[in-house]
Amino acid sequence: MAEKRSGAKEIQFVVSETTGVVSGLLLKPEHAISLLVFAHGAGAGMRHRFIEDLSQKLAALGVASMRYQFPYMEKRVKRPDSEGVLIATVQAALSAAEKYSDGMPIFAGGKSMGGRMTSLALAKAPHNKVKGLIFFGFPLHAPGAPSAERGKHLADLQVPMLFVQGSRDALADLKLLKPLCAEVGGRAELFIVDGGDHSLHMAKRSGRTDNEVLDEVAAKTSSWMAARNA
């Protein structure tokens, strides 16, 4: 496995005979205590700055990460794969993660679409190694079309869930997301980044930088995972 400048190692795993192989990046700090299987959003792959920066900050807190590409991104195609292929890729990534976890607790999730596809994959086929789900900007609905339909399956999940959402997220009206989390009950926790958009980007008038927010998000994520490591 080739070593990346970021300290991450390149990996590959097979999705299926028809879909083929996709690549990933494994960042495993010394004395890591858990592994996050981290899927990317619809418009950018595993090397997107948000995912890269957050992975590095998590590593500094003892959290390993395994980022990976969906097939369409691997092929440099703009249009995402079908839902079936996306779900199959998540399931293959979780299986591959067992090999790299070295017995560490495994968590799963991702940015926007990647997080939602991960939840759909686990709703379809629960994975007994996954201790919890983490969503960085859950895409509850399309911009300007508020609806909770995309979150109905969350009630079927039996694992803890952490939602990290910006208060300005155009893809998740908090008036819809808050009651959805309440319906799931104690399994769901909503962590709101005041002033953050769908990518947790902060407006200049907020007085806070994106880097400061990512520090806060990484700290929350790592502490939430640590509380569920048993």
CATH number at residue 137: 3.40.50.1820
**Pairing, β 20-27 against β 9-16:** antiparallel
CA atoms of 55 and 199, how far apart (whole Å): 15
Mean pLDDT of 50-73: 97
> Which residue, 192, 200, 222, 213, is CA-closest to 58?
222
* Res 80 pLDDT > 50: yes
Give the pLDDT score at 185: 85
Residue-wise pLDDT tens digits, 180-198: 999 988 899 999 999 999 9
Q: What residues contact residue 197 under an 8 Å CB cut-off, 6+ apart?
A: 166, 168, 169, 170
Mean pLDDT over the full length of the chain: 94
Kindly state whether residue 41 falls inside one of the protein's structural domains: yes
Kindly state whether residue 1 falls inside one of the protein's structural domains: no
Give the pLDDT score at 181: 94
pLDDT band at 229 (very low <50, low <70, confident <90, very high): confident
CA atoms of 213 and 129, how far apart (whole Å): 30
Name the residue range of residue 24's domain.
9-226
Q: Are 34 and 198 in contact (CB under 8 A)?
A: no
Give the pLDDT score at 4: 45
pLDDT band at 3 (very low <50, low <70, confident <90, very high): very low
Q: What is the Cα Rg of the chain in Å?
A: 16
In the three-class reduction of DSSP (H, G, I as helix; E, B as strand; rest coil), residue 119 is classed as helix
Kindly state whether residue 3 falls inside one of the protein's structural domains: no
CA atoms of 207 and 196, how far apart (whole Å): 12
Both tokens assigned to 79? 């249009």
CA atoms of 116 and 83, how far apart (whole Å): 11
pTM: 0.94
* Res 204 pLDDT > 90: no
Q: Tally Cβ neighbours within 10 Å of residue 136.
A: 27
**How many domains is the chain built from?**
1
Give the pLDDT score at 1: 38
Kindly state whether residue 2 falls inside one of the protein's structural domains: no
Q: What residues contact residue 12 under an 8 Å CB cut-off, 6+ apart?
A: 21, 22, 23, 24
CA atoms of 132 and 190, how far apart (whole Å): 14
